[in-house]
Amino acid sequence: MSTEEKSLHFIEQIIEESLTNGFPKDKLRFRFPPEPNGYLHIGHAKSICLNFGLGLKYNAPVNLRFDDTNPAKEEQEYVDAIKEDLRWLGFKWNEELYSSDYFQQLYDWAVAMIKNSKAYVDSQSSEDIAIQKGSPTQPGVDGPYRNRSVEENLKLFDAMKNGDYPEGSHVLRAKIDMKSTNMLMRDPLMYRILHRHHHRTGNDWNIYPMYDYAHGESDYVEQISHSICTLEFVMHRELYNWFLDQIYDHDKVRPHQYEFARLNLNYTVMSKRKLLQLVQENIVNGWDDPRMPTISGLRRRGYTAASIRKFCDIIGVAKRENVIDYSLLEFCLREDLNKTAPRVMAVLDPVKLIITNYPEDTEEWLEAENNQEDFSAGFRKVPFSKELYIEREDFLEEAPSKFFRLSIGREVRLKNAYIIKGESVVKDAAGNISEIHVTYDVDSKSGSGSDASQRKVAGTLHWVCVQHALEVEVRLYDRLFSDEAPDSHKEKSFLDFVNPDSLEIIKGFVEPSLANVQAGEKFQFQRLGYFNVDFDSSSEKIVFNKTVGLKDAWEEKGKKEENLLMNTQKEINKYVKEKDEDNVVSILNTIIGNIKSIDNYSLLTQTIVKNIKNDNNALLFSNLIILHSDKITVNDIDEDSLTKLYSMSLKSQLAAVRLLTIENLQNDVDNFALFKTQLTELKMNEKNEKVYKLLNDLKI
């Protein structure tokens, strides 16, 4: 196998094998088949890049086909949004097609199947059909209408089409095998009655084909050679092929279905149903909210099409499911924006800085580089004067040795300008700093070539000239969910993990070069991150969205929390060994404070379970987390683990463990009853006064 062949992903290998075995290259045809029942998300981008990428590689047509078989959930709005997303990603489709284009053909094939005794009208309720189909371990049984005559089936199906029956009264089912090990083959539904207005066919139809029936047959009509879908459709392949068997003409191309692993991204949800719920419950401001994983949301936030295509290329095409870290998507974005985004200065939490020895009523226009990664980007002029804004966090009155920003008596450089030295501050009535007074070195101007200009100082600060500053609205977006797998916890709703700090709206100041920005333009606010002009902007009010920070703040936070928990366990050891009562209280307060500061739900629950072992300190740690964390409750720990924790802890030789366990059981009504006998026995033998008193207060 050549080096080039080894680099092919498995779908490309399948296509190469097809061509080697004689399949005509000019018959290759692909499609991207979205259902217009929601906006596309980043998971769809992987499928889009795969299908259209194959089209480009093999110079083969790729159709955009809308599988619009459910008018109850589909809207023209979604069709338009999907087309806009595809264009923005940079792909062109060969034909724009719809499953609804084939409604008559699908109906005719269904009639032929009835005539061939391969389909029948079932008049059972959906509940009865579900019971009759059995379970994965129990075969289904024939329903009471399975052996209706062809004539009766044809008559009923025609009446269904004409709108003579209410929704739910009849369905058309394929007649396959009620004992099949694949439950999808147990006489699946082909048509249901829906008296709904269709966005394209209006009220022409009263029956609509099911996805499993329409999808493969539509592929056949379009002569799709390789029908590519995600792994959840593996079990559907047998049904896909069965439906094709009923209509296949050997003179035509027969589509074949192949499955690849869908994109799973942490810290978000990929279900259209759940994304719709976020929209409907006003948790976000529409499908294009910049916190959403939708392509339109990512676009509005400031993502580039190139970064999404690069992301899809890096994660590749595989057969095995895995979870991709959100930080990889952000990395691809930073790489792209670093090359293309102009650098500008903005201050988002301003405090006034006054250069006391700078001449009054003097103003300079300094030269600033637009992008050091792109020499062709050139330079711009920024105004400089006596009064500036800097970030409040860039100044400390009394700073530690490793604080490389401005403080009293220390020097820093103002970007593209001069070296300044902190002299004094002015405070308001509440004690907050309202002004910072500094002096500047007149000979230290950046780029002047003087000895003073080449002096090395601790840090460089960005700034904005007060006189020329533009006030703007800045929307600071963060991840929508605080947990890495928000929809994976059985006892919790994914909505429980919505990050309350996912959006903060503030006022900031930017340099005057941004006065005429247009929606969609992207910039790097120096030292702050990448920002994008929102389409809510107007000539009266400019609005910026924070796209992504310069560093992965979530990775840093995650590492900090992991390290904090590790260090807290060391504090547990100190706590247990400490004899001085005052020190015991101090150490315990530190432990509790650390536990309360941890936001990562999964990290906390995993830490609890990991510490359920024959180790007194470990048991103490688990009980402390349950008692003091406000991010989890006992209901978040699986029943077996929790029972094991309580049982082992009540037997612990360490009184502090027993004491905490009793407190936790007090708050856990369900388990308290289960452990009443063990608590009674413990009371009879308990020698520690505090534990005995607590047990006695429980009146066991």
pLDDT at 251: 93
- C-alpha closest to that of 324 among 335, 308, 347: 308
Structural tokens at position 155:
């008559």
Distance of alpha carbon 380 from alpha carbon 191, whole angstroms = 65
Q: Return the CATH superfamily for domain 272-339+474-551.
A: Glutamyl-trna Synthetase; Domain 2 (1.10.1160.10)
Strand segments (E) across 175-247: 189-193, 207-209, 226-230
* CA 356 – CA 336 distance, rounded (Å): 41
> Looking at residues 546-569, what average pLDDT do you find?
83
* Average pLDDT for the chain: 93
Predicted confidence (pLDDT) per residue in 593-628, tens digit:
999 888 888 888 889 999 999 899 999 999 999 999
- The single residue listed with the structure tokens 């499993």 is 212
**Tokens standing for 427?**
């405070």
Q: What local confidence, expressed as pLDDT, does residue 554 receive?
A: 66
What is the rounded CA–CA span in Å between residue 596 and residue 627?
10
Q: How far apart are CA 531 and CA 169, in angstroms?
A: 55
- For residue 62, pLDDT beyond 50: yes
Residue 133 catalytic?
A: no
Question: For residue 5, with 0-12 CB atoms within 10 Å meaning exposed, 13-18 middle and 19 or more buried, which class applies?
Answer: exposed
Q: Is residue 84 annotated as a catalytic residue, yes or no?
A: no
Model confidence at 490, pLDDT cuts 50, 70, 90, reads: confident
Per-residue pLDDT at 700 exceeds 80:
no
Q: State the Cα–Cα distance between residues 191 and 143, nearest whole angstrom.
A: 17
Give the burial string for 463-483 (b: 16+ CB within 10 Å, else e).
Answer: bbbbebbbebbbbbbbbbbbb
Query: Residue 362 is encoded by which pair of tokens?
Result: 């003097």
Lowest mean pLDDT among 70-84, 93-107, 429-443, 611-625: 611-625
Fold agreement between 102-212 and 272-339+474-551:
no
Residue-wise pLDDT for 281-316, tens only, equals: 999 999 999 999 999 999 999 999 999 999 999 999
3-state secondary structure of 337: helix
Q: Which residue has the higher pLDDT, 77 or 557?
A: 77
Alpha-carbon distances, residue 255 vs 67, 243, 367 (angstroms): 16, 11, 62
Contact indicator for 654, 616 with CB cutoff of 8 Å: yes
Q: How far is CA 2 from the centre of its chain?
A: 38
Q: What is the mean pLDDT of residues 633-659?
A: 89
- On the question of pLDDT at 551 being above 90, the answer is no
Residue 4 in this model has a pLDDT that exceeds 80: no
Q: Name the DSSP class of 315.
A: H
> What is the DSSP secondary structure assignment for residue 116, as one 8-state letter?
T
- The pTM for the full model equals 0.83
Catalytic residue among 29, 31, 35, 192: 35
**Percent over 70 (pLDDT), the chain:** 99
465 forms bridges with which residues in the sheet?
Answer: 388
Which residue among 173, 175, 272, 309 is the active-site one? 272
Residue 560: predicted pLDDT: 81
Question: Lowest mean pLDDT: which of 42-51, 121-130, 376-385, 654-663?
Answer: 654-663
Nearest CA to 196 out of 230, 167, 226 is that of: 167
* Cβ atoms 37, 272 nearer than 8 A: yes
**Is the confidence at residue 235, as pLDDT, over 90?**
yes
Active-site position among 118, 200, 262, 492: 262
Beta strands in 148-287 (DSSP E): 171-174, 189-193, 207-209, 226-230, 256-260, 264-265
The full set of domain ranges for the chain reads 10-101+213-261, 102-212, 272-339+474-551, 346-462, 555-697
Mean pLDDT comparison of 335-339, 654-658, 661-665, highest-scoring range: 335-339
Fold of 10-101+213-261: Rossmann fold (3.40.50)
What distances in angstroms separate CA 8 from CA 1, 149, 256, 263, one per listed residue? 11, 52, 19, 19
Q: How far apart are CA 497 and CA 482, in angstroms?
A: 6
Has residue 91 got a pLDDT over 80? yes
Within 13 Å and on the Cβ side, how many CA atoms surround 424?
A: 3
596-to-561, 568, 631 alpha-carbon distances in Å: 11, 12, 8
CATH for the 102-212 domain, from 3.90.800.10, 3.40.50.1000, 3.30.379.10, 3.40.50.300: 3.90.800.10
What is the CATH code for 346-462? 2.40.240.10
Give yes or no: 35 in active site: yes
Beta-sheet pairing, 522-525 with 529-533: antiparallel
* pLDDT at residue 532, rounded to an integer: 97
* Structure-token pair, residue 108: 């005719």
